[in-house]
Structure 1
Amino acid sequence: MPDLYSRRSFIAGVITAGMLSTATGYLLTRRTPVTLTLVTGGDATGGRSLLINLWNRFNPDVRLDVLTVNSSTRDQYDKFAGTRADIYNLDVIHIPRFAARGRIAPIDPPDGITLLAPVQRVSQVEEGSARLWAVPLNTDVGMLYRRITDKRATDAEPEIGRLVADRTQVRQLAAQLATEGSTTDEAFVINVLEQALAQDRTILDERGVVSTSLGQWQRALAPLAAALRDNRIVAVAGEEKTNAAFQERNLRYMRNWPVWFPAIDREERDKKPGTAAIRLGRLPIGVLGGQGLAVAEDTGYRDEAEAVIHFLTGMPAQKLLATYGFAPTASEAYNDPEVKAAMPHLEIVRSAVEDAHPRPMSAGYADFAQVFRQHTYDYLYRGVQLTDGFVEGMQGALR
């Protein structure tokens, strides 16, 4: 569909041009120029880098220097906390820990945006408060990709829990259900949580509270254990390897994040004549992801840092990041006619985000994830039954 991609590129160019005038609205002048440090993980798409370059182009007196710290989700807190910064780009699960340790300061969101409810909830200082610990840069939620080979055929959107339980579906689904160490552990935790939610919607609630019923966990994970035991799922470690398995093996289904959709969709259409389309479907309940920009408590340039964050997270920035595959955080971006025309798949992404559940939003999340990964991995792959020690370990980590 060259028209779709031409339009997407055109919209990206229009938004970028519009961002130039937006940047002038944040123009800051100082008698003594300063450089702010943004500590972040990598930027695989280039969208965030483009926004930062636009800021620097129009703010020579308040420049933003990006310090990329390579880390896994598991060790991000320690590495980020040990690095001097004015602004942190935090994974949502690290926001409570940074706040509890007094490392970040509350901030108001930029004008003109209405955050989607789950996105607002994981960042707000307290329930009902408009102030945030971190302004969401992008949100994220697990999605079910499916390959369409004949548009004339009936295309009922599948449900991942039924796919996993269906013994006739053999090795047609790729998901991050294997792990190769700390860099892929978090993806494994998220995917197992999503599989449990597909069987029992109450096992992790909308505020990230996990069930402490052992029997509930045993029932929720039993279909996944059976599918892995029977070798009916392509279990892969990490997002990139999941993409590779889906494409190289011509699998029908894949669980991954929506940010990969534009690249995968275009490559499939360009290189595989047998693929009529790649479509996105939602999970019954996905796990909420995303990143947020937070002001360091000890920065000497709080006003400047807040101006940078508002520029990088405002409505024009949300629209631009959407063209790079990111899921916007604000309802206004999803409602924008140009964005809807260029990226129609975002409508179902929005639906998935609005119903997504967060991981436990606690300063003890890292310990929870370690306990969860150890017990569920042993259960799924080594046949070690879940016991009271599993739920007690989760409770202890989150206490």
Structure 2
Amino acid sequence: MTELYSRRSFLAGVLTAGTLSAAAGYVLTRRESVQLTLASGVDPTGGRRLLVTMWNELNPDARIELKEVNSSTRDQYDTFLGTNADIFNLDVIHIPRFAADGRIVPITPRGELQLLPNVRRLSARTGTDDFWGLPFNTDVGMLYRRITDKSVADEKPELADVLARSPGDFVGQLRTVGPQTDEAFVINVLEHALAQDEAILTADGTLSFSLGQWREAVGPLAAAIKAKRVRTEAGEDYTTRTFQRSDLRYMRNWPRSYPAIDRAERTKKETAEVRIGGLPIGIIGGQSLAVSAASANQDAARAAIHFLTSASSQLHLAKYGFAPTGLGAYIDPGLSEALPHLYDIRLAMESARPRPVHKRYTEFSQLFADHMRRYLHEGEPLTQRFIEDLQGALRE
């Protein structure tokens, strides 16, 4: 265990040095100093903050002030607009609304980026080579599993099998108590529905409006919750806590949590390690950096975004648990040796599907969460009103 994590620490130093070296092409020469403001959600890992620090060391005349806004996914649009920012770190589901309302301007990627196709589609402007925001990090739901004996064959389980055959030994974000936990709940329910019926949400984010199809897709989850065969928690933090304190075998969570969880769980005598694998079809997430249309320093903002999203920066972020956006990080020999789970993340990314890409996604998400909460936890049946509400929210 000591050798593994000392090697990762050494790798972190190499990546940091490599990022700084590769950043030479991002140094700006300015006659007048400017101050850039980057509005972002909170980063519990510190990895993104360190990249901002690197940029500031290289560009003292175009320093970034990082303003971390403690907001939920649902209210990000309103809270970010209340911040006078040059750069927005947007959750991918908010890009359509910011673009439709003229809040951001396009940015052209540099040739070095080899973005994964699923990542590219979420931020690219249709019919152009430009993006509304350059992908900063991506995300995809993963199935964690506790390994107690490495000599026993480790078969990667399917989510539907875990739900049916591992009573009380699985925990996910399957409860919501308000806006802060609604989005995790929506994503988890969609993933369970996809595990039963992959046609419930297509590869381009088109949702089924068949009531019968939805009843069949979420019926097994409702039965498992009613029979207490799954642990339901609100949000990622409580899910992790239940997994660790109860020594559960399985958990659904994001890859960003993996380094810290694996490190902590290896201290237990009964746990050899924690591994992660993809869901049958996970939900893709992530954040992209966009230039504010109101910024007076758009050229400097674009240069900063190119640095923060560069191929070398992706190597750095991977060390902190973030899922890289480009192919380079997944095939880098040194990174693959130190972080072998990146292979599983890449496989999960290739089959992942987006939530409905729509400027009124926030309204859709709230309605979906309300209906599913009442169905899964209060025993209220799914009716045609569920379908009508979703159709109304996603209507152009």
* Alignment TM-score, normalising by the size of structure 2: 0.98
Corresponding position of 2:35: 35
Equivalents in 2 of 1:213, 1:330: separation in Å?
Answer: 36
Equivalents in 2 of 1:63, 1:342: separation in Å?
Answer: 32
How big is the shift at 1:82? 2.2
Q: Which stretch of structure 1 is more off in the superposition, 10-19 or 341-350? A: 10-19
Contact 1:157 1:281 in 2 (8 A): yes
Is 1:229 matched up with 2:229? no
Q: Which stretch of structure 1 is more off in the superposition, 110-119 or 133-142? A: 110-119
How big is the shift at 1:267? 0.9
Corresponding position of 1:219: 216
Corresponding position of 1:17: 17
Equivalents in 2 of 1:277, 1:108: separation in Å?
Answer: 42
Corresponding position of 2:251: 254
Q: List per-residue Cα deviations over 1:281-340 (Å, max 9, x = no partner).
A: 110000001000000112111111110000000011000000000000000110111110
Equivalents in 2 of 1:170, 1:183: separation in Å?
Answer: 28
Contact 1:327 1:349 in 2 (8 A): yes
Q: Which stretch of structure 1 is more off in the superposition, 13-22 or 56-65? A: 13-22
SS in 2 for 1:202: helix
Q: List per-residue Cα deviations over 1:209-240 (Å, max 9, x = no partner).
A: 10000000000000000000001111001101
SS in 1 for 2:145: strand
Corresponding position of 1:372: 368
- Return the letter of the residue paired with 2:133: A
Corresponding position of 1:205: 202
Is 1:355 matched up with 2:351? yes
Equivalents in 1 of 2:206, 2:81: separation in Å?
Answer: 26
Is 1:242 matched up with 2:239? yes
Equivalents in 2 of 1:90, 1:75: separation in Å?
Answer: 12
How big is the shift at 1:23? 2.8
Contact 1:188 1:237 in 2 (8 A): yes
Corresponding position of 2:331: 335
* Alignment TM-score, normalising by the size of structure 1: 0.97
Q: List per-residue Cα deviations over 1:61-95 (Å, max 9, x = no partner).
A: 11111111110001001111222111000001001
Corresponding position of 1:395: 391
- Return the letter of the residue paired with 1:121: R
Contact 1:29 1:62 in 2 (8 A): no
Equivalents in 2 of 1:5, 1:323: separation in Å?
Answer: 11
**What number of residue pairs does the alignment pair up?**
395
- Return the letter of the residue paired with 2:80: F
Corresponding position of 2:152: 153
Contact 1:177 1:237 in 2 (8 A): yes
Contact 1:138 1:328 in 2 (8 A): yes
Q: List per-residue Cα deviations over 1:123-163 (Å, max 9, x = no partner).
A: 01115x32111100000000000001111112111101122
- Return the letter of the residue paired with 2:141: G
Equivalents in 1 of 2:329, 2:152: separation in Å?
Answer: 33
How big is the shift at 1:7? 1.8
Corresponding position of 2:378: 382
How big is the shift at 1:21? 2.1
Contact 1:11 1:342 in 2 (8 A): yes
How big is the shift at 1:377? 0.9
Corresponding position of 2:263: 266
Corresponding position of 1:316: 312
Equivalents in 1 of 2:280, 2:3: separation in Å?
Answer: 32
Corresponding position of 1:46: 46
SS in 1 for 2:77: helix
Contact 1:144 1:283 in 2 (8 A): yes
Q: What fraction of aligned residue pairs are identical, expressed as a percent? A: 56
Q: Which stretch of structure 1 is more off in the superposition, 312-321 or 17-26? A: 17-26
How big is the shift at 1:22? 2.5
Aligned counterpart in structure 2 of residue 195 of structure 1, from 192, 197, 200: 192
After TM superposition, which residue ranges in structure 1, 4 or more long, deviate above 6 angstroms? Answer: none
How big is the shift at 1:15? 1.2
Equivalents in 2 of 1:211, 1:165: separation in Å?
Answer: 24
- Return the letter of the residue paired with 1:122: L
Contact 1:111 1:314 in 2 (8 A): no
- Return the letter of the residue paired with 2:315: K
Equivalents in 1 of 2:19, 2:122: separation in Å?
Answer: 28
SS in 1 for 2:64: strand
How big is the shift at 1:4? 2.3
Q: List per-residue Cα deviations over 1:19-65 (Å, max 9, x = no partner).
A: 22233321112211000110011110010011000000110111111
Is 1:59 matched up with 2:55? no
Equivalents in 1 of 2:90, 2:262: separation in Å?
Answer: 28
* Structure 1 residues 63-212: aligned runs within 5 Å: 63-127=63-127, 129-166=128-165, 169-212=166-209
Corresponding position of 1:296: 292
